[in-house]
Amino acid sequence: MHHQHLRLLLEEVHQGITDPQVAFERLRNLPYEDLGFAKVDHHRPLRQGFPEVIYCPGKTAEQITAILNRLQAYPGNILATRASQEIYEQVKGHLPQVEFKPLSRAMTIHRDKTLYAPGTILIVSAGTADIPVAEEAAITAELMGNKVETLFDVGVAGIHRLLDHGKKLDQASVIVVVAGMEGALPSVVGGLVSCPIVAVPTSAGYGANFSGLAPLLAMLNSCAAGVSVVNIDNGFGAGYSAALINRVSAMPGNIQPGVTEHP
């Protein structure tokens, strides 16, 4: 339950719109609900502002369906990552409202489309092979209440493709840069903009890429200041981090990129 939904619930009780017993039933499972095979963390939106995310590998369709059922009993958007087509089809048989993004393999229930921060998160990918990871980042940031734009296939092998979009780069509050091969793109982008960069190495590349280890090390050794790095293929982690940065930058007293604060 998001803190705003909790305030609304308490206000409804105060005004007599919602019966206290009904409110109690909605709150009784905080901080978590024990399903035996999983302890669903309903308190997470209050602590972190977004519900628990389901990591699908290693879980059965029945387990994922049960967790989704419990999460959807509370307000907010729901995300399950790295689902297979087979898992999705089984889950959808029980929860028709679940949507599936085949490239990123994300299952979503998108109920709250409110933008909770004014800035734009830009997701940039070096090559077409990096798009699945980039899409996972984009979906995560969008479900967390952010305006998200994408810029795909603008890697350093054809740097003019990136430079043609200077305005879009300049207007972003946070940029997630996804790249495999040698992982050079985050350093290039980091040298062009003033906003934070979240770099994501991917496992796309030939043998010496070492399944993403080469771009991971390149990004960790970036000469561009302001580049932070997440784990290999971790689009979810990048999107989540970008959303948190965008949220904090929107707090009172903070200056947005491209905005001048006058006394």
Sheet bearing 106-109, strands edge to edge: 54-55, 78-81, 106-109, 99-101
User: 218-236: per-residue pLDDT in tens?
Assistant: 999 998 988 999 999 999 9
**120-249 architecture in CATH?**
3-Layer(aba) Sandwich (3.40)
Dist CA 252 CA 181 (whole Å): 40
DSSP assigned state of 200: E
Q: Which residue has the tokens 């972003």?
A: 172
What is residue 31's predicted lDDT score, i.e. its pLDDT?
66
Confidence label for 263 from pLDDT (cuts 50, 70 and 90): very low
Mean per-residue pLDDT, 121-129 = 94
Residues of the chain with CATH 3.40.50.1970: 120-249
**Parallel/antiparallel/unpaired status of strands 54-55 and 197-201:** unpaired
Q: Check if the beta carbon of residue 197 is closer than 8 Å to that of residue 226.
A: yes
Dist CA 261 CA 263 (whole Å): 7
pTM higher than 0.85 for the full model?
Answer: no
